[in-house]
Amino acid sequence: MKRNQYFWTHVKKFNQLMKRSIDGPDCTDPEICLGDCCSIKIDIPKVLAEEYIKRGYATKNDFQRSNIFSFRLRFDECSGKCFLFDKNINGCSVHKSGIKPPQCWIYPTNFSNPKGHDIECKRSGGWKIVDPKGVQKAQKLLEKYIFLCKLEARRELKDFKLRLGNDYNNFAQKNKEILIKRIQYTAPKHFAGLQDGWDHFDVLIAEGFSLQLKKFCTKECQKQADKMEDYLSCSNICKTIADKIIEVYQQNLEIYIEQFGADVDGHYPFHKIIANDLQG
């Protein structure tokens, strides 16, 4: 609790400092801007994501795992903007909340303008730092914010075993049961791997057809003396193969992450994990 209070003190103070220390055009005026600065991908800690959910700004599906902080804000590929962009106000839905992601305040002024240049964003000029000391204080708060976020991210990464079902407590075992069923609902040709989510892993669907499970399926049919169904026509992964997939990830994902780090999108393709298994 104390750690979270320390975090909120920094986030709210940062928002207050930047809000009063910089000045510029009205970004919500569609004649000036159409959310052009919202086209970046922002990483945030889980504690901030939880608050957005609590306040109704987001759902769990609006966040994906990241390799920098715990999560990244969902990016809408159709609009080319972060999901927090609200077209009804032509701006960020959390701009006035007091808990806007600190990274979103930095552009275009940054934290200093020693030569007094005219500061421009993508659409307009006229940006100013009206309180240099205020932005300098904010910069120091940002450094502490980043430290706290990375600290939380390390804790979250360690909990991947629970999300993967690689533990004996009830939460982990329930996750494992659900994941096995999700895998079984998937056609082999559509299976690309697993992806880390808010509180559980899910199936990573292939773009196009995937042949990653073909050898597994062929071997299993040979063991069972079954006539193998045409791989591309098979509609569901069988329980035996689903169990084997879970086993491969439980045995090798931790080693893979230690060697290569967490994936930038929380995606762990089967061919990479099985390659790590074969090397071991």
pLDDT in tens, 104-138: 999 999 999 988 889 999 888 999 999 999 999 99
What is the structure's pLDDT at 225?
A: 55
Same domain, 7 and 121: yes
One domain, residues 238 and 274: yes
Considering the domain architecture, whether residues 107 and 208 belong to the same structural domain is answered as no
- Whether residues 146 and 168 share a domain: the answer is no
Q: State whether 71 and 138 are in the same domain.
A: yes
Q: In the prediction, which pLDDT does 38 show?
A: 80
The sign one gets for the Cα dihedral 261, 262, 263, 269 is positive
| pLDDT beneath 50, residues of the chain | 1-2, 278, 280
pLDDT at 63: 95
- Same domain for 175 and 239? yes
Boundary (domain end) residue, out of 118, 135, 158: 158
Residues 148 and 182 in one domain: no
Can you give the pLDDT at residue 229? 66
The whole-number pLDDT of residue 183 equals 96
Q: How many domains does the chain have?
A: 2
Residue 154 and residue 59 in one domain: yes
One domain for residues 121 and 235: no
Last residue of a domain, one of 108, 128, 158: 158
Q: What is the dihedral of CA 59, 83, 85, 98, to 10 degrees?
A: 50
185 and 151 together in one domain:
no
Q: Where among 123, 158, 193 does a domain terminate?
A: 158
The reply to whether 176 and 133 lie within a common domain is no
Segments forming the whole domain that contains residue 18: 2-158
- pLDDT recorded at residue 234: 87
Q: Please list, in sequence order, all residues whose beta carbon lies within 8 angstroms of the beta carbon of residue 49, skipping any fewer than 6 positions away.
A: 58, 63, 70, 71
Please report the pLDDT score of residue 1 as a whole number.
42
- Give ∠ CA 229-234-237 in degrees, rounded to 5: 110
- What does the pLDDT read at residue 112? 93
Same domain, 99 and 191: no
